[in-house]
Structure 1
Amino acid sequence: KTLKAVAVKAPFFGDRRKAFLDDLAVVTGGQVVNPDVGLVLREVGLEVLGAARRVVVDKDSTVIVDGGGTQDAIDGRKSQLRAEIEASDSDWDREKLEERLAKLSGGVAVIKVGAATETDLKKRKEAVEDAVSAAKAAVEEGIVVGGGSALVQARKSLEKLREGLSGDEAIGVDVFSSALSAPLYWIATNAGLDGSVVVNKVSELPAGHGFNAATLEYGDLIADGVIDPVKVTRSAVVNAASVARMILTTETAIVDKPAESDDDGHGHGHSHGHGHSH
């Protein structure tokens, strides 16, 4: 008989690697083949194998779904880890033990996407992938109100900084403050409203409140589910500032030539695009 197999390099080193493999054996209901306990690979049979409903392996990670280990064994292992965490006087050791406990306690969700056509399926799949990425980012750094409202409210923190500045530094703060309102301005404008009016209104609202472009109303955006991960919002600002700085220090910029229109026979070209660097 043959067995489908994939070789995965065990993470960590030394004792940490051994402990991790022991955790994995508990989760899957298998047994670590370790010469230290008298087990040698060429002598063992299928009885040492664990099981799982699904295992996904890529170049960076391995995900085990529904391991075959018993709940009693997993709970016992978790209790053991909690006891070790309590007894540890090393912050580093405690952190690593907590990581192992989190892996044993964590669950894996399987999202199944279906659609009537291949085109719809592709769109839905991309939307789900975006949502999963956003959820992971939110877990890392938290969430803020979405739709550009958080950036407008963040301008308040620049007011105090502006008071002690003059000259180019003051102009820089003013430019940055104006740029922070651009996302909300264009969201409101594209929704058919006056962007400037919406920006001014949102800047007066309490934290957590803003403009909901889907309903064209102001309110508690977190309660309405209009949220963005902090990591995404912060990265957008940092990256936009980096691009703006690069443009300011560049002598020449290359852009596409506007397409000419021959509708009126005079060859007038019209370009209605807007470009913003924050």
Structure 2
Amino acid sequence: MLAVDAVIAELKKQSKPVTTPEEIAQVATISANGDKEIGSIISDAMKKVGRKGVITVKASVFTDSLNETSGYQNLCIILAPLYSGGLLYFIKSGLQDAYVLLSEKKISSVQSIVPALEIANAHRKPLVIVAEDVDGEALSTLVLNRLKVGLQVVAVKAPGFGDNRKNQLKDMAIATGGAVFGEEGLTLNLEDVQPHDLGKIGEVIVTKDDTMLLKGKG
């Protein structure tokens, strides 16, 4: 381990931070097998979003281009993605034109989850649930709706804890135009959810590590 530590220390000493657009373009060009056009696009993207921004790459049939979109990213735990062979598993998934259900509280009962599922199914839209937790009969209902009805539904844990979680859910509500169920001072019940209570989002990208809500319609 001493030799490994020595090598790591030497590499850190010799390393040079990549800071300028030109340097970013050079590194990106090398990563893109020498394609300077791709390197330039990546450099422009980094300039637009900054070091803490998120860059996603999609296949394009016609041309290479750069599109800037406002959105919201949060770290999360996947609760109810796809179901196969008796095991829950998850693959990177993008949902288009989806409803978003936001809840400060844990969702456990079937009665709490069915109204939102019915709205999503009636409007033929995917449903993303962001809550403190989803378990019990509610979680089983999500899986069954995915299997039997074919409804595109995924549940993720809301990020953070305490007041931080509340504030992040409020930010999501503003970005998507939805309401936060269970929020202090409000009398909204999940059982009484209406279409206008659900947030609306142009695109949702969910991976095993995080969730990105893009093109919010708030």
Q: TM-score, normalised by structure 2?
A: 0.30
Q: TM-score, normalised by structure 1?
A: 0.24
The answer to which structure has the higher helix fraction is: 1
Higher relative contact order (CA 8 A, sep 6+): 2
The answer to which structure has the higher strand fraction is: 2
